[in-house]
Amino acid sequence: MKRINLLPPEQRMKASRERGLLWAILILVAIVVALGLVYVWQNGQVNDKQAELDGLTAQVAVEQQKAADLAPYAAIQTTRTAMTQTAKGIYDSRVPWATILQEISLVIPENVRLQTLTGAVPAAMLPGPATPPADGTVAAATPDVTFTGTSYTHTDVAEFMTRLGLIPQLSNVQLASSTGAAATDTSGATGTPTVTFTVTASLRPYLTPPPATEILGVGQ
């Protein structure tokens, strides 16, 4: 059976508007509910991230406090490492006097008698910061090792100088003075030496400069 709407046209239009308004309200309510759910979810996410950030901030503060507590020990370790390296550099750049004296004893000719032997390490080979003179002048070079002795002939002195040149730690071997007449009899070692000589030599410089003994940070 065909349904017949007996409402007047005005009532039918009013009922249609009311239904449309109801649907609009329902849609609006659904949108508001959806937005509320999204807000609650996003707010939960923000709270979780904030809690995570607060935890990380607390951990960073703890680690920073630990680093601050360990800072003095780090400075001590740095100073200790610098002192160890400096000590090793000083040891490696030391002048081996014992070795030099032993080598000198092996190269002295039979007819040469040493009376004195003096040695000094030049300032350029001493550990420590190089401090030039305040007036800018450069000190005159002086021999590092000086030999004085006697021999029978000048040839013996020349042989002694030649042998000194074979010692690796010595260089610039020079005759400072040689006085006296050669002995008439050089066949044996029982005669009296008549030649007095002075020979000088320089210590061979290091391949690398000696280390500085002043360590920054010590005592600060």
Name which of 28-37, 42-51, 69-78, 189-198 the model is least confident about: 189-198
What DSSP letter does each residue of the chain carry, written as one string?
------S-HHHHHHHHHHHHHHHHHHHHHHHHHHHHHHHHHHHHHHHHHHHHHHHHHHHHHHHHHHHHHHHHHHHHHHHHHHHHHHHHHHHHT---HHHHHHHHHHH--TTEEEEEEEE---GGGSSS-----TT---PPP--SEEEEEEESSHHHHHHHHHHHTTSTTEEEEEEEEEESPPPS--SSS-S---EEEEEEEEEPPPSSPPPP---TTTT-
Fold of domain 97-129+141-203: Gyrase A; domain 2 (3.30.1360)
Dump pLDDT digits (tens) for 56-107: 988 888 888 888 888 888 888 888 887 777 777 666 667 788 888 999 999 9
Place 108 in a pLDDT band, splitting at 50, 70 and 90. very high
Domain ranges of the chain: 8-92, 97-129+141-203
Name which of 9-23, 57-71, 134-148, 169-183 the model is least confident about: 134-148
For the whole prediction, is pTM greater than 0.85? Answer: no
